Chain A
Amino acid sequence: MKVKLPLFICLIMGIMGMIAYYVPHKIVQNFDNEWRNTALRIIFAFSLVLGVGSIIRHHLEKIKRKREFWEYSYVTLISLFLTAFIGLFGGIDGKGLIKMQIGNFNFDIQTIYVNMAIPLGATMFSLLAYFMASAAFRAFRARNFEAVLLLVAAFIVMLASVPPIARLIPKLSYISEWILDVPNTAAKRGMLFGITLGVLSTSLKILLGIERGWLGGK
């Protein structure tokens, strides 16, 4: 029951999802649309519980057991609850049940997002530029013909990506476009066939109950 019921539901839902593609009849299409717009939306919305609940549990555990850097878990938990409070009670525009404004100072959810979440997220990923430059200097070696080919293609694409060089040597832009349009397309398409067949076989195995990793433990 603990295993058979979820597997049965998975199979039925899978068949439902597939039938809607092959049967254009209005009854099937209307049912499919209604199912997605009501049931699926509501069930999926509750999945946030898993993500947020796991984060809260993880950090509470860290604080309880005083694991490494446990003090920072307070930062996560306080900022999570504070942001949620501001959003839930202030509304999307800050003019909900509680006005998120003191004088001219706004602290609604959108302001917090633009001035805190965006800079934090963007800067974290911008660090990669430094790591990539360092890796390019220390690890990128033209040890054989294939590596030289990779480097030459990379250099052409990098140089052609910037306007001064693209305007100075228009042929470089066309060569770069050709590399992207022809050999790159061929290689990526070959890989795409393999990856897609792998994904399709995994999806079928999930529907048929052969792949049971998503069930978790006992």
Chain B
Amino acid sequence: MASRRYIYLILTIVIIIPILRPFKLKPLPMKPVKNLFDYIDKIPKDKALLISVDYTPDTEAELQPMTIALLRHAFSKRIKVGILTLTLLGLGLAEDALQVVLKEFNEKAKTKEDSIVYGRDYVFLGWQTPPLVPLLGMGESITKVFPVDYYGNRTDTLPLLKEIKNYRDVGIVVSISGSAIPMWYVTYAQTTFGVKVGAGFTAVSAADYYPYLNSGQLTGLLAGMRGGAEYEELVEENFKIRGRRKATEAMSAQTTAHITIILLIILGNFIYFYKKKK
């Protein structure tokens, strides 16, 4: 019991110190992240990016930075954006991310043309259940699946949804999730309608979905906070956006924590083999 509490204390200290005194870092974007970034960057003007915010509060710290980075990317390039969730608890998180990014862009905007305007540049479709309804229904008509948006507006009155009618008008769906929801998009939306799918996963599950990346069913993959930090780096590099980079900020503490865990494993093994030898 006592040794457990010392370990908790050590872990807390090695995380708090770099949070208080972070060191300068520049994430190194790897291929799965670059592939997703490049694909979204080249979405034609008449197509939209669909972001599916499919995570819950327990994975907010890892996945919210991805959503924010994707929104910054899309708004910088004036890519039309549709946001939805397949998990009820993702609604509040999606709204939160939107408000953060909208504030960044609209505070700097000088005219209405520069601003990010609801209904023209983005729509927040909200949530529908069961998941099969939006997954398959959006292949026919997005407005039939979401008759009202998150805010209660009738979706058939929104200008953006007069151009973006179904998956044929979507360049890529990026599902960010702490579970297998991106695979639902691959299984249902992609096999039936051929829509491209990208994914953001918590690091816990990311390694399990590399087969889909390898087969090309996933266009790109963001894995955990590292993936979020790499995407933030690409967005800042290309668009010089100076918003708060939560994932990158966390990397200092992540570094010290990882080294601590490795040392704890080595120490644990050293003590075990020493005792065994005795």
Contact = CB atoms under 8 A, between A and B. Distances in A.
A113 B192 contact: no
B11 A133 contact: yes
Given A44-B129, A163-B28, A188 B207 contact: yes
Contact of A163 (B136, B211, B255): B255
Interface in A139-155: 139-142, 151, 155
A122 interface: yes
A170 B105 CA distance: 35
B114 interface: no
Nearest to A147: B269
Contacts of A170: 28
A45 B192 CA distance: 25
B268 to A, nearest CB: 4
B39 to A, nearest CB: 18
Interface residues of B, number: 65
Interface stretch (A74-82, A99-107, A124-132, A203-211): A124-132
Query: For the side of the interface on A, what is the size category?
Result: 35 or more
B210 A180 contact: yes
B251 A163 contact: yes
Given A121-B57, A125-B59, A137 B264 contact: yes
A32 B137 CA distance: 9
A130 B129 CA distance: 35
B268 A141 contact: yes
Interface string A151-189: 100010011011111110010010001001100110011
18 contacts: A36-B133, A36-B137, A37-B144, A92-B150, A110-B95, A113-B92, A129-B257, A130-B11, A134-B4, A134-B7, A136-B268, A139-B268, A140-B268, A159-B258, A161-B203, A164-B23, A165-B255, A185-B214
Given A118-B57, A139-B268, 17 more contacts: A33-B137, A33-B144, A91-B152, A114-B92, A118-B92, A119-B57, A121-B89, A125-B58, A133-B261, A136-B264, A141-B269, A151-B265, A158-B261, A164-B23, A166-B28, A170-B28, A188-B210
